[in-house]
Amino acid sequence: MATAVFVEEVDNLFDSFNGGTSVGQGKTLRCPLSDNRPHIELWKKASMGIKSWIFLKDGKPAFLHPPPSQNGWLIDITAAQHVWRTLKEVGFEYLHTQNLNQDPLENTFGAIRLNCGSNNNPTVGQFVNALKTSIISGLAFRGLGETNCEDDGATLLDNLQSLFRAPEAASRNPSTSHDKETPAGVPESFHVAQQVQMDMSPAVPAGDMEVLSVAYVSGSIARQVLRGVSCDACKTCLTSEVLLSANVFIYFKECSDTEQSLTYPSEKLVETVGTAVTLMESIMTEAAHLNSVEQHITAAIKSTIDFEWIRCSGCSLHHQRIVDSIVRCLT
């Protein structure tokens, strides 16, 4: 008899925390919580009951301290009452206590784990892929039964359509997918590029310390881009005949004092490479974990960095090819 009483009390407790839209078959505790429902009264009594629980083993207390579930119930009851008081103050008339529990989360994780095989410690990549698979299959795993949670009646926020649209939108304008947008709707990376270019343009002619290595890399890029190219205009816009301050490091790297074997980049190329590299670093902090990082970076560089100088003052005939190979070298 004592067991039956205990089971009923716990059953009521569960019901009171599962109040939802479905007006339970004669179970007032399964109804949404409001002031004229028995929930609050039940919780007051139940709190006292729970505090008096003692778990016995062979007639003796089984635990030194109350187990987490016992304290958990007390915390839940206090918290739910607090939530209800707060909601009432702002004008709520009902509360679906069902929405306070973590069943939807638990159900989702259960669905995801089913897609991870026996792997109970998936990597970030495996987790993301399992989540996608779960979404595609509509979180369809209930057929297996034996779940710990009731059907939470939740519907998916995502669906097949938007799942497959998302990557397309991302590649169309990758720099914006994870970037913060400014109020004007201009991607953050554009402002990064602008700022860096402003810093770079006086630094390059001045031959600042930090541009020396950029110039060295730019020289190597110029050499690669110009490989097999016989167009003089292309050469003139990417390389420099006179020794620029930024190129002294390259000059000192020459093996011979009399012969010039390294490639000396033009100021504009150094400026562009420096800007692109800085932009790339700022994107990497936000996009390194994404798929097709290279695509993201390529698109961001092409859409935000000013390559007009190649068309205007360089070679109008081959400018697109030059831009493409510079970006390819960079990524």
Binding site for Zn ion (CB under 5 A): 231, 233-234, 315, 318
Tokens 């953050």 correspond to what residue? 188
Q: Which amino acid is at 72?
A: G
C-beta closer to Zn ion: residue 37 or 318: 318
Least separation in angstroms between residue 279's CB and Zn ion is: 25
Q: Which amino acid is at 233?
A: A
Least separation in angstroms between residue 326's CB and Zn ion is: 13
Least separation in angstroms between residue 319's CB and Zn ion is: 8
C-beta closer to Zn ion: residue 113 or 321: 321
C-beta closer to Zn ion: residue 95 or 221: 221
75, 78, 81, 83 alpha-carbon torsion, rounded to 10°: -60
Q: 186: which residues sit within 8 A by CB, 6+ positions away?
A: none
Spatial contact of 331 and 296, defined as CB atoms under 8 Å apart: no
Spatial contact of 221 and 326, defined as CB atoms under 8 Å apart: yes
C-beta closer to Zn ion: residue 60 or 227: 227
C-beta closer to Zn ion: residue 5 or 312: 312
Decide: helix, strand or coil at residue 6: helix
Angle value at C-alpha 223, between 221 and 227, nearest 5 degrees? 120
Least separation in angstroms between residue 325's CB and Zn ion is: 12
Decide: helix, strand or coil at residue 143: helix
Least separation in angstroms between residue 321's CB and Zn ion is: 8
Cα atoms found within 13 Å of the Cα of residue 239, Cβ hemisphere only: 21
C-beta closer to Zn ion: residue 30 or 318: 318
Query: What is the distance between the alpha carbons of residues 185 and 268, in angstroms, rounded to a whole number?
Result: 29
C-beta closer to Zn ion: residue 303 or 325: 325
Q: How far is CA 173 from CA 181, 190, 275, 302, 307, in A?
A: 12, 12, 19, 11, 18
Least separation in angstroms between residue 324's CB and Zn ion is: 13
Spatial contact of 114 and 141, defined as CB atoms under 8 Å apart: yes
